[in-house]
Amino acid sequence: MLIHLHGVRGSIAAPVRNEEYRQKLHGVLRHAIGAKLSDPADIDDFIRALPMDLRYVFGGDTTCVSVSRGDGLPFILDCGTGIRSLGDSLMNGPCGQGQGEIVIFHTHTHWDHIVGLPFFKPLYIPGNTIHFYSPFEDVETRLMRQMLDQFFPVTLESTLSKKEFHPMDNKPITFSDGTIVDFHPLRHPGGSFAFRFRRNGKIFIFATDAEFTGEDLESVGSRHDFFHNADLLIMDAQYSLDDSFSKFDWGHTSFTMAVNCAVRWNVKNLVLTHHEPSYSDSRLYENYQQAIEHKNLMKVQKPRLFIAREGMQFQLGSEKT
């Protein structure tokens, strides 16, 4: 399974603003002066040596993740604004010829997780088939509402692809490529669900829009067995610990609690995602460094920690960028 991150922001899209861009430029130029950069041939090596918050933008698009299938067909998790660029890429293959078949899973239907769907080009191509899976039985009605003519010029039912809606129950689903998918309820206003993908002995779990607390760490038994021993867990870590105290019951997790959970669940690799839209890249990088420090204080080897950024790819334990 190749897991590809297309959108990593939470709550609302948050592109880099001019002031933050200027601050990044100042930082890059200060490093260039310190490195006495003068030869254009050295630029690539110089960029690779920059701190992460200057080397990359973490991204402003809201949640969307794709998972490769053994038969070449993509699984998609959520339809935040990140699905627009994913759709553009898919148009270069069978989807652009009206021969695409796509499976979309919905963790929930808050706006930041569905607002990209009207801009997903494969939706409009006749011959494509899009399967929507969700534990919410009325997900079709929810998606139709955001595309009523009061809110969008094209209704969902008038798009030309074939759309099939599949309510999920408590039984795992086995797809034709051997991937097994099941889900777990999360604490979030209005409800949300984590999805677990299992194939060839590997486990990937996507658990965004969830509020985990110390009580969850103390609980034992089957309630959290779902998360145990994951090879890769992409998890909500929207807040710093201080911010989480003032936003209790908002349905999101602090990065320190995400690390605590992953340690307790014996997760191999943890990706911190659903970034707070008000946090700059430098703030996100600071949070990431503090998460690493927090893990080091726990004196544990696992999990390996990553901070999500748009375009990041994982092959279940081996990062590809």
CA 113 to chain centre: 10
Phi, psi (degrees; rounded to nearest 5) at 133: -115, 135
Q: Are residues 206 and 242 in the same domain?
A: yes
Confirm whether 218 is domain-assigned.
Answer: yes
In a domain, 131, yes or no: yes
Q: Are residues 97 and 235 in the same domain?
A: yes
For residue range 23-39, list pLDDT tens digits in order.
999 999 999 999 999 99
Are 86 and 30 in a shared domain? no
Burial of residue 72 (number of CB atoms within 10 Å: 0-12, 13-18, 19+): exposed
Predicted TM-score (pTM) of the model is 0.94
Is 159 in the same domain as 51?
no
pLDDT of residue 124: 98
Residue 112 lies in a domain: yes
Residue 161 lies in a domain: yes
pLDDT at 213: 80
Shared domain check, 104 and 31:
no
Report which DSSP code applies to 122. Answer: G
Per-residue confidence (pLDDT) for residue 21, from 0 to 100 = 96
243 part of a folded domain: yes
> Does residue 100 share a domain with residue 220?
yes
Residues 88, 145 share a domain: yes
Q: Which of 274, 234, 259 is nearest to 58 (CA)?
A: 274
User: Which CATH number fits the domain that encloses residue 116?
Assistant: 3.60.15.10
Element (H, E) at 77: strand 75-77
| In a domain? residue 41 | yes
Question: Are residues 207 and 267 in contact, defined by beta-carbon separation less than 8 angstroms?
Answer: no
Q: What is the pLDDT of residue 262?
A: 95
Whether residue 239 lies inside any domain: the answer is yes
In this structure, the answer to whether residues 72 and 198 fall within a common structural domain is: yes
Which of 1-10, 155-164, 216-225 is the least confident region? 216-225
What pLDDT is recorded for position 247? 67
Pair (26, 166) in one structural domain:
no
Same domain, 80 and 218: yes
For residues 250 and 296, which has the higher predicted lDDT (pLDDT)? 296
Do 226 and 202 share a domain, yes or no? yes
Structurally, how many domains does the chain consist of?
2
321 lies in a domain? no
Do 45 and 172 lie in one domain? The reply is: no
Q: Which residues of 251-265 are buried (b: 16+ CB within 10 A; e: fewer)?
A: bbbbbbbbbbbbbbb
Structural domain boundaries enclosing 217: 3-13+59-316
pLDDT (tens digit, 9 = 90+) per residue, 90-148?
999 999 999 999 999 999 999 999 999 999 999 999 999 999 999 999 999 999 999 99
